[in-house]
Amino acid sequence: MRHSTRTALRSYVCAVVTILAVLVYAHEAGARAPKSVGCQQMTEALAKALFEEWNKALHQNPETVVRTYTLDAVLLPTFQNGPLVGREQIRGYFDHFLEQHPVGRIDTRNIIPAGCNMGVVAGLYTFTVDEGTLRVDKRVRYTFVYAFKPEGGRGRWLISHHHSSAQPQKGVPN
């Protein structure tokens, strides 16, 4: 084989190896890159699942509850003055609220259309809590504003605003 043919063949092989290496790298980088999650919409089933996740966290610890909120979330709590802004202030509220061993249930749920990657859910919920030596029900109004945050290529719904307040009139159903 002539020298120029070997040089051309060697150049061709180097080019092919380089192209293959670039393709393999691009494929691996693409697999690690976050995927676009598109437009997520709030649904009845999703609202139910998000409340269940949050309510289940109330049976664990304040840190688990706080991880259901965005880093800059705002909480207007039922049993304390607010607003509480950010996870640290919100954690302080749940440090004390969880001492009452709350168990929540949704009484009414209304979903307010809010566009892509945002959801508003409002209504009434009841919390059964410790009050002295008794377990009592507290009927409360609520609003959750959820934001869909990309996370690990999939994304996650988190609470960005939570307003919970006692009903002003006793004995009035709605």
- Considering the domain architecture, whether residues 17 and 71 belong to the same structural domain is answered as no
Number of domains in the chain: 2
Domain assignment of residue 112, yes or no: yes
**Mean pLDDT, range 153-166, rounded to an integer:** 92
Domain assignment of residue 171, yes or no: no
- Considering the domain architecture, whether residues 48 and 21 belong to the same structural domain is answered as no
Is a pLDDT exceeding 80 seen at residue 22?
A: no
Domain assignment of residue 173, yes or no: no
Domain assignment of residue 39, yes or no: no
The least confident of 17-21, 27-31, 66-70, 111-115 is: 17-21
More confident residue, 61 or 20: 61
pLDDT tier for residue 171 given thresholds of 50, 70 and 90? low
- Considering the domain architecture, whether residues 79 and 11 belong to the same structural domain is answered as no
Buried b (16+ CB within 10 A) or exposed e, 27-65: eeeeeeeeeeeeebebeeebbeebbeebbebbeeebebb
Domain assignment of residue 24, yes or no: yes
Amino acid 1: pLDDT: 57
- Considering the domain architecture, whether residues 68 and 26 belong to the same structural domain is answered as no
- Considering the domain architecture, whether residues 65 and 9 belong to the same structural domain is answered as no
Beta strands in 30-102 (DSSP E): 69-76, 84-85
What is the model's pTM?
A: 0.74
Query: Domain residues for 52?
Result: 44-166
